[in-house]
Homo-oligomer: A and B are copies of this chain.
Amino acid sequence: MAERVAILGAGAMGSALTAPAVDAGNEVRLWGTWLDDELVAAVQAGAPHPRTSVVVDARVRAFGCDELEAALRDATIVVLAITSDGVLDVLAHAAPHLPAGAPVVITTKGFGRDDGGRVGVIPPRLEAAVPGVAPVVAIGGPCKANEVAARRPTASVYGCRDRAAASRAAAVFSTPRYRVEVSDDVVGLETVAAMKNVYAIALGACQGLAPRGGEPWHNLQAAVFARAVAEMAVLAGAVGGRHDTAYGLVGVGDLEVTGLSGRNKVYGERLGRGEAPADALREMRDAGQVVEGVPAAGLARELAAQLAGDGHLQTGVLPLLDAVLDLIGPGADPAERLSAACLPPAV
């Protein structure tokens, strides 16, 4: 069933999702925010997208920032491929033009704060902020944008409290190369997706230890990996989701790829090599590289405190999160700190 798909946000992930969307036979529009002018111009010129190096399919129509209404006209499904700090704003602008009852799909990850200052995942906040908006479907799973754009095989997970909405969105994007698993555990999915960026810093730190001694620290890295999975499962359960979400594509799968490459892993690697955390972060920021795991770690600590206060989480069950928070502060020794957090207790 072909639909009219409007993808809002022309960055790496937004532009990448045009590939399965057109391949699946839909009419696809791509709208760029006020930050995306250069990206939209590249798409309109048929040039490689600056973030993925892949040329967006010529059947995709690209819209500039002032063409939001046109991009959304008669759309039957909308995707918000917007970072967590901008997604609410874009949704507010788009709300009057959204198709009634159709799912709103988001690629947004991470934790946010509601008006009362409480930390939580994004989908319930969007649904609460724009009353009458359709159910929010969150995309999770191991999904590097440039590989989706290049049509390399990808397994994704679409989560929504309304499973039928997730299934509908999944059907719109599914192709032989981009396959979608459907889940109703949207809070677990978003929590695990945010935490994997935090834990990728720790995996990167293990990789950074190698150059110091000349030999890999694979045993420690593996212990960190297993500890990360355990903590993602605990948190998924504490927020009202399922432990299993941490054991599947969204958890172990995405942690694997995020620990292999990406900015969180690179930042961790620099910490492992002994660079000062603040200096490494500033240098990466100056190079335009946002390390999402750093703010996510701070918010996760707040979330854990909230959950403990509500009786949903015991204290002391997230030693690796605590270790990452120590590592991104000054003075912690990565090997010692990660060993203390991730090796089993003395018998």
- Check B142–A218 contact: CB distance below 8 A: yes
- Check B222–A344 contact: CB distance below 8 A: no
- Check A155–B342 contact: CB distance below 8 A: yes
Q: Whose C-beta in chain B lies nearest to the C-beta of A251?
A: B226
Stretch at the interface among A60-68, A91-99, A124-132, A174-182: A174-182
- Check B256–A256 contact: CB distance below 8 A: yes
Q: How far is the CB of A257 from chain B (nearest CB, A)?
A: 4
Cβ-based interface call for A42 (8 A) = no
Interface size on A, residues (CB 8 A): 57
Q: Which residues of B contact A229 (CB under 8 A)?
A: 247-248, 252
Q: Which residues of B contact A216 (CB under 8 A)?
A: 147, 260-261
Q: Which residues of B contact A253 (CB under 8 A)?
A: 222-223, 225-226
Chain A, residues 309-347, CB within 8 Å of chain B (1/0): the string is 000000000000000000000000001001100111111
Cβ-based interface call for A26 (8 A) = no
Cβ-based interface call for A215 (8 A) = yes
Q: Count copies of this chain in the complex.
A: 2
Q: Which residues of B contact A248 (CB under 8 A)?
A: 226, 229-230
Q: How far is the CB of A160 from chain B (nearest CB, A)?
A: 14
Q: Which residues of B contact A202 (CB under 8 A)?
A: none
Q: How far is the CB of A23 from chain B (nearest CB, A)?
A: 13
Q: Which residues of B contact A213 (CB under 8 A)?
A: 152
Bound form: Cα–Cα A335–B144 in Å: 17
Q: Whose C-beta in chain B lies nearest to the C-beta of A168?
A: B347
Bound form: Cα–Cα A247–B233 in Å: 10
Q: Which of B148, B167, B218 contacts A347 (CB 8 A)?
A: B167
Q: Which A205-258 residues have a C-beta within 8 angstroms of B?
A: 213, 215-223, 225-226, 229-230, 233, 247-249, 251-254, 256-257
- Check A155–B217 contact: CB distance below 8 A: no
Q: Which A54-88 residues have a C-beta within 8 angstroms of B?
A: none
- Check A347–B171 contact: CB distance below 8 A: yes
Q: Whose C-beta in chain B lies nearest to the C-beta of A157?
A: B344
- Check A219–B256 contact: CB distance below 8 A: no
Q: Which of B179, B260, B343 contacts A155 (CB 8 A)?
A: B343
- Check B249–A219 contact: CB distance below 8 A: no
- Check A219–B347 contact: CB distance below 8 A: no
Cβ-based interface call for A44 (8 A) = no
- Check B247–A152 contact: CB distance below 8 A: no
Q: Whose C-beta in chain B lies nearest to the C-beta of A143?
A: B219
Q: A153-B217, A174-B346 are in contact. List 9 more A-B contacts (CB 8 A).
A: A147-B215, A152-B220, A153-B220, A153-B338, A154-B219, A222-B249, A222-B257, A225-B256, A226-B256
Interchain residue pairs with CB less than 8 A apart (20): A142-B226, A143-B219, A144-B219, A147-B219, A148-B219, A152-B213, A153-B219, A154-B223, A155-B222, A167-B347, A171-B347, A179-B343, A179-B344, A179-B345, A179-B346, A218-B260, A218-B261, A226-B251, A230-B247, A256-B256
